[in-house]
Amino acid sequence: MRALRLLCAMLLGCGLSAALGQDSDSSVSGAAVADIRSSGDLSGRTNVVADIAGVEVPYPWFLHEFRSSFFRYGEGPEVRREVFRQFMRRMVLYVEARASEVAEDADLKRAIASRVETKKAFMEYQLAMTEVEMLVEAYLASRGLGRDMFSVTDEEVDAFAQEELARMGRSGDVSNVPPHVLDQMRDRLAMDRRTQAVNDLADLLLKEKPQQVNDALVDQVPFPEINRTP
DSSP per residue, 18-78: HHH---S-----HHHHGGGS-SS--TT-TTEEEEETTEEEEHHHHHHHHHHHGGGG-SSTT
8 A C-beta contact, residue 8 and residue 116 = yes
8 A C-beta contact, residue 62 and residue 49 = yes
- 158 & 186 share domain: yes
The structural domain count of the chain equals: 3
Rounded CA gap, 179 and 164, in Å?
Answer: 15
CA 189 to chain CA centroid, nearest Å:
28
- Residue whose C-alpha is closest to residue 66's, from 78, 79, 54, 55: 79
- 128 & 199 share domain: no
* β-bridge partners, 106: none
- 91 & 134 share domain: no
Helix axes 79-98, 13-20, angle to 10 degrees: 120
Domain span at 152: 144-210
- 69 & 118 share domain: no
- The predicted structure's pLDDT at residue 152: 93
- Residue whose C-alpha is closest to residue 145's, from 196, 103, 205, 219: 196
* pTM across the whole model: 0.64
Q: What is the 3-state secondary structure (H, E, C) of 119-184?
A: HHHHHHHHHHHHHHHHHHHHHHHHCCCCCCCCCCCHHHHHHHHHHHHHHCCCCCCHHHCCHHHHHH
- The predicted structure's pLDDT at residue 226: 74
- The predicted structure's pLDDT at residue 39: 54
Residues of the chain short of pLDDT 50, as ranges, are: 1-13, 24-35, 230
Per-residue pLDDT of 136-175, as tens digits, reads: 999 999 999 999 999 999 999 999 998 888 888 777 677 7
Q: Pick from 142, 166, 201: which residue ends a domain? A: 142
- 45 & 130 share domain: no
